[in-house]
Amino acid sequence: MASTIRVRATSSGETTEVQALIQHPMDSGFVKDAKGEIIPAHFIQQLTFEYDGKNVFTADWGGGVSKDPYVKFAFKGGKKGDELKVSWVDNKGATDTTTAKIQ
Amino acid sequence: MTDVGFSATRRLILQGAGAVALVGLGNIPFGPTPALAAANDKYPEEAFKAKSEADAIKALYGKTAEPSDKVKMDAPEIAENGAVVPISVTTTLADVTSISFLVSENPVVLVASYKIPAGTLPNVANRIKMAKTSNVIVVVEAGGKLYSANKEVKVTVGGCGG
C-alpha cells in the first residue's frame, strides 16, 4: 500500500479509540546533517480525522513532533464498519488521505 | 497444461504492472493543496514561531493559563532518547476545546496543538522531540479558560541536535 497513514479505530460500543501512525521525516529545520548543513524543515502541519462528515479531531503540529508521528485519541459514538477519514498536509504542501474501517 | 501455466504467468505479470501503477499514483502529490488547507481550520503559524511558552500560549489562545491539578500529564521522569518522548494527557475538566503541548527549552516551544470538538474525549497521547532536559507544559482550554500542568523531563540524549 502506498499510503503513509496507518490507522486503527476500535469501537467499544460507546466510544471509538483511534490510533494513527504516519510515515514522515518530521524534520524540524534545526538539525544538521553529517556535512554540517541544516536539514530543511519538512513536517506535517495539520492532521485531521473525519467521521460521518464531521471533524472529530485536528492536530496542528510543529517540527517538535517525533519522526513517524503517533497520536491517540477517542471520540463518543462511531459504529463498527463505519469509515473514518484521515488526512494530513505538510509544510511543503504535500498531502495524503486514507479511510479506515472502525473495528 | 502449458496453456494454464502461460495464463497464470501472464496474470502475475499483469498484477505486477497494476501494483506498480498504483504505487506510482500514490506518489503523485494531489495537485493544488490549498483546497484541503482552506477546508481545515487555520494552522496557527505565529504560535509555532514563538520562542517562549508565554508567547506561544498568547499567540494560540490570547490569554494566560493557570495551573490546575485536574490536568494530568503522563510523561517519563527520564527520557533516554530525546527524539521520541511519549507524553499523554487526560483531564476531568468539562467542555474541553483544545489541548496543547509545549517544551520550554526547545527552539520552537510549541510542539503540538489539538482541537477537541464536542463529543471527542479530552485525552491525547503523542510522541515529541526534546532538545534537552526541560519543562514540558500541557495547556488545556476548557469552558473558555486555560489550565496547565508542568513536568520536568530529564533528557539523556537530545533529540534536536546533530
Q: Domains along chain A?
A: 5-101 (2.60.40.10)
Per-residue model confidence (pLDDT) at position A1? 47
> By CA distance, what is A3's nearest residue in B?
B26
Per-residue model confidence (pLDDT) at position B4? 52
Q: How many CA atoms lie within 13 A of A92 on its CB side?
A: 14
Per the structure block, which three cell numbers stand in for A10? Answer: 476500535
Per-residue model confidence (pLDDT) at position B10? 56
A94 Cβ contact list (under 8 Å, min separation 6):
B29, B33
- Contacting residues of A for B20, CB less than 8 Å apart: none
B103 Cβ contact list (under 8 Å, min separation 6):
A64, B109, B111, B128, B129, B130, B131, B134, B135, B136, B137
pTM of the model: 0.82
ipTM summary value: 0.94
Per-residue model confidence (pLDDT) at position A63? 96
Asked if A66's CB is within 8 angstroms of B119's CB, the reply is no
Per the structure block, which three cell numbers stand in for A64? Answer: 517538535
- Contacting residues of A for B103, CB less than 8 Å apart: 64
Q: What length is written for chain A?
A: 103
Asked if B111's CB is within 8 angstroms of A89's CB, the reply is no
Per-residue model confidence (pLDDT) at position B16? 52
Q: How many CB atoms lie within 10 A of CB A100?
A: 19
Q: Which CATH class is domain B44-157?
A: mainly beta
Give the separation between CA A87 and CA B134, rounded to whole angstroms: 32
Our CA-based measurement puts residue A39 at a distance from the nearest CA of chain B, in whole angstroms, of 10
- Contacting residues of A for B111, CB less than 8 Å apart: 61-62, 64-65
pLDDT tens, residue order, chain B (162 aa): 445 555 555 555 555 555 544 444 444 444 444 444 444 468 999 999 999 999 999 999 999 999 999 999 999 999 989 999 999 999 999 999 999 999 999 999 999 999 999 999 999 999 999 999 999 999 999 999 999 999 999 998 776 654
Per-residue model confidence (pLDDT) at position B22? 47
Which residue among B22, B23, B124 places its CB closest to the CB of A73?
A: B124
Give the separation between CA B49 and CA B55, rounded to whole angstroms: 9
Asked if B44's CB is within 8 angstroms of A60's CB, the reply is yes
* Ramachandran area for residue A81 (φ above 0: left; ψ -120 to 50: alpha; else beta): left
Per-residue model confidence (pLDDT) at position A5? 95
Asked if A46's CB is within 8 angstroms of B112's CB, the reply is no
Give the separation between CA A68 and CA A26, rounded to whole angstroms: 7
